[in-house]
Amino acid sequence: MGSRFWNERHTARFSPRRHRKTRPKTFKTEEGAKKWAHAQGITKYKLVNLRSPHASTQKIRVVASPVQKL
């Protein structure tokens, strides 16, 4: 008889085959992206649409501008 504790709760957490990189946060609207950037304290950034310009929906990512040292 198998253990439900191991099968249901821990297979994805401890699976040796699943090494997934964390992905950047994306947004559906520019307003949501700007609000998130302001909440994170990011002042210099640009918004990049990851989808085609002809697509009916958008997928927007906030790209922080590098800080220039004087």
Over residues 4-22, the pLDDT tens digits come to: 655 666 555 555 666 778 8
Q: How confident is the model at residue 58 (pLDDT cuts 50, 70, 90)?
A: very high
Q: Per-residue pLDDT tens for 21-57?
A: 888 999 999 999 999 999 999 999 999 999 999 999 9
Q: How confident is the model at residue 67 (pLDDT cuts 50, 70, 90)?
A: confident
pTM for the whole structure:
0.64
Helix/strand/coil (H, E, C) string of the chain?
CCCHHHHHHCHHHHCCCCCCCCCCCEECCHHHHHHHHHHHCCCCEEEEECCCCCCCCCCEEEEECCCCCC
Task: State both tokens at 49.
Answer: 């649409």
Strand-by-strand arrangement of the 60-64 sheet = 26-27, 60-64, 45-49
